[in-house]
Amino acid sequence: MSTELFLQIETKKAVERLYGVTPEESQIQIQKTRKEFDGDYTLVAFPLLKVSKKNPEATSHEIGQYLIDNNKQITKFNVVKGFLNLSLSNDYWAEMLNSISTTKDFGFRLTGSSNRTVMVEFSSPNTNKPLHLGHIRNNLLGFSISRILEKNGNKVIRVNLVNDRGIHICKSMLAWQRFGNGETPESSGKKGDHLVGDYYVRFDKEYKVQIEELKSKGLNEDEAKAKAPLMLETQEMLRKWEAKDPEVYALWEKMNGWVYDGFEKTYNALGISFDKTYYESQTYLLGKAIVAEGLEKGVFIRRDDGSIWVDLIADGLDEKLLMRADGTSVYITQDIGTATQRFDEHHLDEHIYVVGNEQEYHFQVLKLVLKKLGYTWSDSLFHLSYGMVQLPEGKMKSREGTVVDADELVEEMVSTAQEISSELGKLDGLSESEVASICNMVGLGALKYFILKVDPKKNMTFNPRESIDFNGNTGPFIQYTHARICSVLRKADDLGLQVSNSISSQGFSTLKEVELVKLISEFPVIVEQAGKDFSPSFIANYIYELTKEYNQFYHDHTIIKEENKDIQALRLSLTKIVGDTIRKSMWLLGIDVPEKM
């Protein structure tokens, strides 16, 4: 039982006895006592004034006095205006510590215990370019949120939807066909996704030249873009692909195969995995069939040019294209098909799309279109809209080749981790294989933590070197603390000191120890909140606070050399549980922690 729940129950009893009324749950508000005041937790008295019929101070005094008279775990109180600050006994905190130490996977609910099935779709790359920094934020958010939801008791299905068809894919294909001279990943020594991405950039370069030529002949910008030969050829290639033209289809299969191999290497480097991968090329036909059905039912309209639209003006949106005049589909077509397929296959309770905030309108339309088609589960769709990520030097543009490549960034992070760790002497005495493992762990940990500590809804700037700092709110700071804790526990084990699961209240000698127990006890609440808000930042910032508190404690107090056995036992128990909580929290973020450093 959490301390907040314990105090809510005891306060409810007090109000019933004192005022003869059972308060509503919303009237009993418990929060952590602010650091400038004396106490552990604070009851806000104002919501209870209607019950007590007294002023805030009198109500707080009466409830406080009742609590210490009737519960030995509550030792004292003080009142600051309408706030009742309560202090709990060392016996209470010792029992809490013992309960945590004997609870398997404290803070985690058993997977499947909620009887809810949740699908999380993330990554969703296009097969015309390699993954970049924006994809990294998407992948890290999606993977972390799936773990957080899993440890909140949900059955979670992680899926990837690969956008492997469409006009953008044909741009890379046409450029390779026109300028590639048969180049392959093997002949070039490049990862397949990088090679294909080079031709996407090449297309844009040649396309711009053609646009300028047409503008010099008197066409305006829009006319030039529409009539540029490369664009016309690309549109024709897409039509041929949808018609299963053998030559175009074979080229598509070959180039997509290169990209899939490249993506897999990047996912492995990031520690990302999926339960299932869907492909737009396999779902867009289902979407087209559903759109045709909606047209027959009068849900959609066909314009004179043959294109199919949905009118959402009455719903406060706009008209949305569902099928082009030439019969080719658009993004939302395949999203309609994919959503229906997934709910049919898995009977989902919730479907979460991890997609950047530039697609908010798209998902509003998708949800509304599915509702108009009669799918009652449309209300179970949720767009986890996250902000953009950029480097200090500014925004990235993939078609101009100015993106930060994911593979290069991972390599840079690992290299920088080794450089900084060596300078600080963190790798002294370690073997070559240990150094490689730790540098990879620290580099990736720095990258993941720096991104995940930011509220997903916010735009952010990623600074690679700033993220690898062994001080402050960073992954390496937390990882180093875990290694330090492991070192303490190894020394204790060498001396024959066992970590006890039966701590005495006599072991408490400082307020810092109580603060650490309080922080650890809040872990289940933090995990639950992170799941409700779909925000790993709750986990990241919580574990930073716990790590910071432990480091202050470690700096100021002896552990193994403490002569008082009760105090020594408590401090060793605290150290182990802090280490366990760091490891579990970082696991939720997809981050590994070293045992040596």
pLDDT at 500: 87
pLDDT at 520: 96
What contacts 308, CB < 8 A, 6 or more positions away?
Answer: 291, 295, 300, 301, 302, 321, 322, 323
With CA atoms as reference, report the closest residue to 85 among 64, 68, 65, 57.
Answer: 64
pLDDT at 403: 67
Mean pLDDT by runs of 10 across the 597 residues of the chain is 90 94 92 91 94 93 95 94 94 95 94 94 93 92 98 97 92 96 96 95 95 95 95 94 94 97 95 94 88 94 94 94 87 91 95 95 95 95 92 54 78 87 81 88 94 94 82 92 96 92 90 94 96 97 96 94 94 96 98 91
Q: Which amino acid is present at 85?
A: N
Residue 455, phi-psi category: left (phi > 0), alpha (psi -120 to 50), beta (remainder): beta
pLDDT at 399: 43
Q: How far apart (Å, rounded) are the C-alpha atoms in residues 257 and 273?
A: 18
pLDDT at 35: 86
Asked if 42 and 33 count as a contact pair (C-beta separation under 8 A), the reply is yes
Which H/E stretch holds residue 155? strand 155-162
β partners of residue 438 = none
With CA atoms as reference, report the closest residue to 376 among 343, 342, 334.
Answer: 343
Q: Which amino acid is present at 542?
A: Y
Tokens 């016309």 correspond to what residue? Answer: 232
What contacts 117, CB < 8 A, 6 or more positions away?
Answer: 154, 155, 156, 157, 346, 347, 348, 349, 350
pTM for the model stands at: 0.89
Full set of structural domains in the chain with CATH: 3-88 (3.30.1360.70), 122-400 (3.40.50.620), 406-588 (1.10.730.10)
pLDDT at 455: 95
